[in-house]
Amino acid sequence: METIRFAAEEKALLVARLQRYFSEELKQSIGRFDAEFMLDFISEELGAYYYNRGVADAQAVLAAKVEDLADAVWQLERPTEFKR
């Protein structure tokens, strides 16, 4: 799997959210460098778990849609004397 990379604007937004979380929830200040370091750690160590969950969720949605499509195709079948 290729490493997931964020655009500079995305990374800046994520870093700002981490800083805000530390400030509001933990009542601690965290600098930009430390927040970037933490974001990199979370991405490298935990990111694959979230990514895989997203892939599994997408697979489930796709499987449901394929099943709906298969049902729709079977509904097109016309009655005949031939039985399977």
DSSP string, 46-77: HHHHHHHHHHHHHHHHHHHHHHHHHHHHHHTP
- Report how far Cα 16 is from the mean position of its chain's Cα atoms: 20
Q: Position of tokens 């970037």?
A: 36
pLDDT tens, 41-70? 999 999 999 999 999 999 999 999 999 999
pLDDT tens, 22-43? 999 999 999 999 999 999 999 9
Cβ 55 vs Cβ 8: under 8 Å? no
Global pTM reads: 0.72
For the chain, the structural domain boundaries read: 8-75
Confidence band, pLDDT 50/70/90 cuts, at residue 84: low
